[in-house]
Structure 1
Amino acid sequence: MATLPRDLATRMAGRRKPDDGYVRETFTLPREKARVKARDFLTRYPKAGYMSAVESWRELPGGDIEFTMRRLRSAD
């Protein structure tokens, strides 16, 4: 039986340390809105201070993009 992307994502999420210092937010948006959301996130939480990044992304069958952004809780 083939592994479905959702199953793989669930297994991968289970491997993360529950408290690795990062806050994660997952979004599902049309491609253009996903780009805007990711840019806004990186503007609000700059990589230099928060180690922000797009942690994962994938295109869903309907064309929407599911992606997870991560950042440190605080840059203090």
Structure 2
Amino acid sequence: MKIPGPPPLDGLRNRIFRHRQEHPTGRKSDFVRETFCLSRPDARAKAREWFDEFPKAAYWTEVESWRQIEGDRIEFTMRRLPSAD
């Protein structure tokens, strides 16, 4: 009995190619994003402001990314849906 090798990938490659043609990566996101660079206390206050104004349950609000830079400064991106529909 011969053990089969891996399946040919031509069909998968074609599907990926078609998908990328139909859905370019530069497509606009449905989320509203804003990036800030603030001191640690100000960054916490700004994030709290977003969560208070756009509740997570309705707007899917979140801190999308953050990093500490130069001393005690935080660069972060907040993300939310444009409406609470």
Q: Name which of 30, 34, 40 aligns with 1:31.
A: 40
Using the size of structure 1 for normalisation, the TM-score is 0.73
Q: Give, in angstroms, the shift of residue 20 of structure 1.
A: 2.2
Q: Where does structure 1 differ by over 6 angstroms across 4 or more consecutive aligned residues?
A: none
Q: Which amino acid aligns with 2:66?
A: W
1:59 corresponds in structure 2 to 68
Q: Name which of 55, 62, 74 aligns with 1:46.
A: 55
Which of the pair has the greater relative contact order for Cα pairs under 8 Å at 6+ separation? 1
Q: CA RMSD of the aligned region, Å?
A: 1.5
* Structure 2: stretches of 5+ with no match in the other structure: 1-24
Indicate the percent of aligned positions where both proteins have the same amino acid: 54
- Give deviations 1:40-60, integer Å, cap 9, x for gaps: 101100011100000000000
Using the size of structure 2 for normalisation, the TM-score is 0.66
